Amino acid sequence: MEYNKKSISELRKLYSENKVSPSEVVSFCLDSINSNDSKIEAFLKVFYEDAMKRARHLDGESPEGKPLYGIPVAVKDNICTKGYETTCASKILEGYRPPYNATVVERLLDAGAVIIGKTNMDEFAMGSSTENSAYKITKNPYDTEYAPGGSSGGSAAAVAASMVPVSLGSDTGGSIRQPASLCGVVGLKGTYGRVSRYGLIAFASSLDQIGPITGTVEDSAVVMNVISGRDSRDATTIPDPPGDLTESVGKGPEGMKIAVPRGYEDLDIADEIKEILKGTIEKLKAENASVEFVELPDMDASIACYYILANAEASSNLARYDGVKYAFRAEAESLEEMYERTRGEGFGDEVKRRVLLGTYVLSAGYYDAYYKKAQQVRAMICSKFESLFSRYDLVMLPTVPGTSFRIGERIDNPIEMYLSDIFTTPANIAGLPAISLPAGFAENGLPLGIQLLAGYAGEAKLLRGAAVLERIYGFNRYKEE
């Protein structure tokens, strides 16, 4: 039995019936990684010995009260794991071993999960292709000449290649949803503050969120149940729990009001996505959901606003990496030279580009013209979404404009690369929950994704709608062939 191709609910059923043990499942997944990851390169580190040790310990425990009992989970390399190297795929953090676990890692372990390894990413989560890693380039499991997306490309590829059933990513402007779309898996970003950021190495603190990448919507709900909740170590966390999100997954769309961008046929997106949207609208109406066309907040304004604010916050957050306290330190004759050489040698080109842009928009002469104006645009976008979600339950739109792109195709064209986030950044700007799920395939055989957004703290509605679309599309990576 291929345990690496089972959903969480299927594995839990096997465990409860004593048909398999955690050590058997984890061993199977580790064998899958060992066989397949040389082609995909999703992992930076795999904890072979410690994962098996943890699994054997679970063999002697009951699965009761542990919703992720024996479930192998991969974790993006910007999420702190105690005693295990956490580098953000950057040379500047090479050798850094955090003395603590991120809150999400603690909650996974408390729920019975087995942390199987750390996944590759764009350096400091800055990128949309996972080509900006200092260590390797992750490939798309559907075609290894293509990128998996980013910055959580390693996490998405690990699930898409059936090496693990669950991974965690981080989403600053679409970095969970975009690679989920390009790799044909489910990627969920919660409301800002739904999941603690304690132990997430910061890129842009007002935008970053941790979330699950899974094979099914139900699996995303299970994981989100575990990792959500108030955390005294993160003052931005939402005090009210979301409730049991799995209860929303089995409900139909009757009575739901869904908004779709007016004139989506004229958007610069693949024809296959337009056809998917058209067919989805018809099927939702046939199931007594209300679908209306609306004007959405300006996408161009959202992405411009995002890249000003994100880079400004990155400039501030990454100032701490100067060779004094963390990991890499360049040899130098003076303190100033050490700063310059450490950052010059330790950071990659994309990180340098964003730090320079962020420093520029925060400088005295340009603060009002760029940063202040971007904050004003952000307030306007938030207000428009608040008004929209007072009338509608969900917004449906593409996740990305099309399918994946060839590795190397956009690496020298940052503007084109940035525009792949045009449909995902609004949810981060407004702090809203959003999910991408696989909707089909293009003629070239690569996956296509559709995205749903909900209002503040609207994860239950979001997952209800996503489960409906999952059924409509009939895409279940765990169904029997």
331: left (phi over 0), alpha (psi -120 to 50) or beta: beta
- How far is Cα 37 from Cα 42, in angstroms, rounded to an integer? 6
> Which residues are paired to 436 by β-bridges?
187, 451
Residue 197 sits at φ, ψ, to 5 deg, of: -95, 5
- How far is Cα 463 from Cα 188, in angstroms, rounded to an integer? 9
* CA-to-CA dists, residue 471 to 251, 271, 381, angstroms: 11, 22, 32
The bridge status of strand 394-398 relative to strand 290-294 is unpaired
- Terminus-to-terminus CA distance in the chain, angstroms? 13
In the block, residue with structure tokens 């795999």: 46
- Two tokens at 338? 């050490």
Say how many CA atoms lie within 13 Å of 264 toward its Cβ: 25
Instruction: Find, among 228, 226, 155, the residue nearest to 196 by Cα.
Output: 228
Active-site option among 90, 128, 175, 181: 175
- How far is Cα 314 from Cα 203, in angstroms, rounded to an integer? 5
Active-site option among 27, 32, 151, 152: 151
Q: Judge whether 156 and 45 are in contact, CB under 8 Å.
A: no
In the block, residue with structure tokens 């293509």: 146
Specify the length of the chain in residues: 481
- Two tokens at 364? 């005295």
Could you check whether the bond before residue 420 is cis, i.e. omega within 30 degrees of 0?
no
> Which residues are paired to 118 by β-bridges?
45, 75
Is 175 noted as a catalytic residue in this protein?
yes
Instruction: Find, among 164, 293, 161, 141, the residue nearest to 223 by Cα.
Output: 164
Instruction: Find, among 228, 214, 223, 208, the residue nearest to 78 by Cα.
Output: 208
- Two tokens at 445? 């055989």
Which residues contact residue 37 at a Cβ distance below 8 angstroms, ignoring those fewer than 6 apart?
43, 46, 161, 163
Instruction: Find, among 312, 317, 308, the residue nearest to 378 by Cα.
Output: 308
Is 76 noted as a catalytic residue in this protein?
yes
> Which residues are paired to 228 by β-bridges?
195
> Which residues are paired to 454 by β-bridges?
394
Any idea which residues carry the catalytic annotation?
A: 76, 151, 175
